[in-house]
Amino acid sequence: MTFHHLPVLLNECLDGLNIKPDGAYLDCTLGGAGHSSEILKRLGEGGLLIGIDRDADAIEAATERLSGISTRGRFAALRGNFHDASALLRAAGIARGLDGILVDLGVSSHQLDVRERGFSYHDDAPLDMRMDRSQALSAREIVNMWSEDALNRVLWDYGEEKWARQIARVICDRRKSAPIETTAQLVDIIDAAIPKKFRQGDGSHPARRSFQALRIAVNDELEPLEPALRALAGLLNPGGRLCVITFHSLEDRIVKNTFRNLANPCTCPKSFPVCVCGKKPVVKPVSRKPITASEEELAQNPRSRSASLRIVERM
């Protein structure tokens, strides 16, 4: 199986993880194993790499790709959502602490490029957008079954789409005559809902924000993110690193605020001369500002343009 994926900010992630040959590392979003393959190459016989993904295609392709280098370090693939990493590791009998964790919150190149997955607004495909195709909820159900108010909230909250109300209204009007089945139908609806002079006001595709919003809703990407990051930080050994790549402001805001709260959890009033709440820092920032792609990477992989990497180290 071909599962093509260009790893974003690869060198920056490898540097950020500060890989030790005998360390234990977790790739929470295995995807095409672009990051994992390079991590595994740096591990010795005592090293361990665990990969998590909810996409069965990713698990199969990554396992095949890594089989050729797995003798240089042990590898275990776990199917599931990284939000449940602690439970997945426990169920697999993996008890050792981790020296590094990587979370790439982007959609993989494979998922975008395989038309029938329904992630792309450039192709005509069934409305799907499920990262885990065994789950029931898909973009088709949201578009055809959710109320106008619910659609408006999804498009506004998860896509920051200023035409959310108009798009939701046109969706509800169109589906009265026949179900909305394909990505092309949805793109046409968005085109009809947004006044012509505003369709490409910022230079991007007019459907970009709506498709992002639906994907986030289908896969429940944002609500569990903060508790998941806190749990991941708790899995690290002292000195272990947590690296998170985000691709839009909603994700990045959650990561930034969670890292800030983990680094400074004190709840005492600022007027107090000393801390009395007893809450101690869990992590310290490695990068004060998000790390972004170099000009060289941008030329090779335009999808890296919106990527931001934040890194913290376990105290």
pLDDT value for 201: 58
Q: What pLDDT shows up at residue 106?
A: 87
Domain locations in the chain? Answer: 10-105+223-314, 118-219
φ/ψ (deg, to 5) at 238: -55, 130
Q: What is the pLDDT of residue 85?
A: 98
Bridge partners (DSSP) listed for residue 74: 48
pLDDT digits (tens, 9 = 90+) for 152-161: 999 999 999 9
pTM above 0.85, yes or no: yes
Mean local confidence (pLDDT), 188-212: 85
Residue 5 has a pLDDT of 60
pLDDT score, position 185: 98
311 vs 201: which has the higher pLDDT: 311
Query: Can you tell me the mean pLDDT for 60-86?
Result: 88
Name the band, by pLDDT with cuts 50, 70 and 90, for residue 6: confident
DSSP track, 229-292: HHHHHHTEEEEEEEEEEE-SHHHHHHHHHHHHHHH----S-TT-SS--S-PPP-EEES-SS-B-
Quick one: pLDDT at residue 200?
Answer: 58
Q: Which pLDDT belongs to residue 197? A: 77
CATH no., domain 10-105+223-314: 3.40.50.150
**Closest C-alpha to 78, from 92, 66, 90:** 92
Q: Which fold has domain 118-219?
A: DNA polymerase; domain 1 (1.10.150)
- Picking from 218, 223, 231, 227, the residue whose alpha carbon sits closest to that of residue 250 is 223
Beta strand spans in 80-224 (E) = 98-104
Secondary element (H or E) of residue 310: strand 308-314
Q: Among residues 105, 124, 60, 38, which one has the least CA distance to residue 243?
A: 105
> Which has more confidence, 118 or 201?
118
User: With contact defined as beta carbons under 8 Å apart, do 74 and 212 qualify?
Assistant: no
pLDDT of residue 110 exceeding 70 = no
- The pLDDT of residue 196: 81
What does the block give as tokens for 219? 């896969």
Question: For the ranges 3-7, 46-50, 211-215, 284-288, which has the lowest average pLDDT?
Answer: 3-7
**Is residue 102 a contact partner of residue 17, using CB atoms and an 8 Å limit?**
yes
Rounded mean pLDDT, 49-70: 89
109, pLDDT greater than 70: no
Each residue of 168-185: pLDDT tens digit? Answer: 999 999 999 999 999 999
Q: What angle is formed at CA 195 by the lines to CA 189 and CA 200, rounded to 5 degrees?
A: 90
Which of the four pLDDT bands, split at 50, 70 and 90, describes residue 101?
A: very high
pLDDT on residue 87: 98
State the pLDDT at residue 287: 85
pLDDT at 204 over 60: yes
The kind and range of the H/E element at 52 are strand 48-53
Cβ atoms within 10 Å of 121's Cβ, excluding its own = 19
Q: Which residues pair with 313 in a beta bridge?
A: 241, 284
Residue 75 has pLDDT above 90, yes or no: yes
Q: How far apart are CA 202 and CA 206, in angstroms?
A: 9
Residue 177 to residue 179: CA distance in whole angstroms: 7
CB 224 within 8 A of CB 138: no
